A and B are shown apart, each in its own frame.
Chain A
Amino acid sequence: MIQRNSFKRKTLPALAMAGPVSIWMILFVTLPMLYIIYISFMSRGVFGDVVYTFSLDSYNTLLDSTYFKVIVKSIKAASLTTLLCLLIGYPFAYYIANKPKEVASKLIMLIMIPFWTNSLMRLNSWLLLFQTSGPINKFLLFTGVTDTPLNFVYTNGLVMVGLITSMLPFAVLPMYSSIEKLSKSLLEASADLGASKRTTFFKITLPLTFPGIFSSIILVFIPSLGMYYVTDMLGGGKVLYIGNIIKNQFGAIRNWPLGAALSVLLILITGLLIFIYTRFAKIEDMEVV
């Protein structure tokens, strides 16, 4: 009787409330992730089908010069994107965080509004601006900076512009919230004790906002590795990153084990970064929204 009561009072509501989300996560996150790891150890059949025999072929292929080069190139591009987003974003976040609260929340809102526009159309705008007959080239010709139109379209540089402008808010938001949480009295204490502004920044502000900076690194670096549509739109198929290669393995090329192995590589990179993050901050504290 007591047992039944406790079932009705505790177990049943817990099941009803936490059950659906738990089942969803297990069915559509845990299982697919495990399955993709499994597939990465299978081999590819002659017709692009998956042959269920264990092999390390896909992982060996990753070390082939062609694929290895793409992996290195992607990691370099994602690192550069992250570095530039941090360098551009930190002073910006610092400026906003030092504004009164109501002003700051409006300024943050102003960052988000452009991102409600379709991301592909925003990327397309860069293409329109930088194309051979576009406004930027016309301006350069008009001012005599160049005699012939410059080619920006489908270059690494334009892809970088697309990546940075797409990722910047994800760098700014976590850094903003950690700078904003920074206690003003600490900074005053540091100044009172005779530290210069520079010393205060490097000894107090920067170390204390490091969790925010690292959240930004995770939120910019990892998606940059996989965002194939930026390279599709602005690189025109000439610039390929890991995301494009994965997509192609599940499309025309049909090599699922190889695509799965590349996915596992991305999972490992993600896992490594998260592991480092959890050494000095709690994962629940990560500002993701």
Chain B
Amino acid sequence: MSLSKLQKRKRFGELIGMIYSIAIYTVLYIPVLVMMIFSFNDQRYNYYWNGFTTEWYSKLFSNSTVIGSLWYSIIIAVLATVISVTIATIGALGLRKYEFRGRKFINNMLFIPIIVPEIVLAVALLIIFMKVGLALGMGSILLGHCTFCIPYAVVTIKGRISGDGYSLEEASMDLGASRIQTFFNVTLPSIMPGVMSAAFLSFTLSIDDVVMSNMLAGAKNSTLPVLILSMNKSGITPDINALTTIMILVIVIAMILNNKIKNALSKRKKAEGIL
């Protein structure tokens, strides 16, 4: 009898937990759904629901300001990802493998952009750039983005370096492979999942960044988030909703495809292992 009572209590607890979680997911997804719904709103500015239309999706691509800033964001995000992940990959390996004076210092420095509020790093970079006379624009934004992407990428990749990596590397070099060959054929494949997550993280951090881009932007061009922030006072138009709806769909589809490919690859690896 007491057992069934215990089971009942457990089931009740499970039910409460499920309802609670659904409530939280609802709150997290409401803003995304509202954003999507209002991309179909038949009104110049989004004040209230005025009827269904798809005109914003067709008009979107003729709005040169929005599309311009989208391209600006994408170019910066791609460059920031490539630069950050390259530096972070070899950096994570180097910091893990080699003992040198100041290693602890660099490891601590890597935590600063992650922990200190972004606005602090942004204004610190701004005054340094002003001091050395670097013109604000794509270059300054890119330097800023890399500065916070590199630490996140290093942390992500470091987590994927297994302690066993060295023996494989040594085996490869004993068998006559050069350092460079070993890096591309042994080391890199073993940390590839970490590198991929780091790239994904860097790209999303960069393309969504508001604070750094806003502080380091020049007068001419702005990234999409900065454009949205500047539209805030006058009201954000439904074409922005349409654009961000397309963007989230692309990201989710890319994520699903990425997972599918990963699964397929690991299955093939397993099969090869059996053979």
Contact = CB atoms under 8 A, between A and B. Distances in A.
Interface residues of A, number: 79
Of listed A92, A131, A168, A169, residue having the most chain B CB within 10 A: A92
A26 B109 contact: yes
Nearest to A14: B98
Nearest to A116: B251
Contacts of A122: 31-32, 35
A44 to B, nearest CB: 13
Contacts of B60: none
Nearest to A25: B109
A21 B252 CA distance: 31
A24 B252 contact: no
Given A250-B126, A288-B114, A25 B215 contact: no
A266 B94 contact: no
A80 interface: no
Contacts of A211: none
A259 B123 contact: yes
B128 A17 contact: no
A32 B121 contact: yes
Contacts of A168: 24, 28
A95 B15 CA distance: 11
A25 B116 contact: no
Interface stretch (A60-68, A200-208, A218-226): A218-226
Contacts of A95: 17-18, 20-21
Interface stretch (A107-115, A140-148, A180-188): A107-115
A229 to B, nearest CB: 5
Interface in B84-129: 87-88, 90-95, 97-98, 100, 102-103, 106-121, 123-128
B179 interface: yes
Chain A to chain B: the 8 pairs with minimum beta-carbon distance, closest first: A226-B117, A17-B94, A21-B91, A18-B94, A32-B124, A125-B31, A14-B98, A125-B34
Interface of A: 10, 13-14, 16-22, 24-26, 28-33, 35-36, 39, 88, 91-92, 95-96, 107, 110-111, 113-114, 116-126, 128-129, 131, 133-135, 165, 168-169, 218, 222-223, 225-229, 232-233, 243, 246-247, 250, 256, 259-260, 263, 266-267, 270, 274, 283-284, 286, 288-289
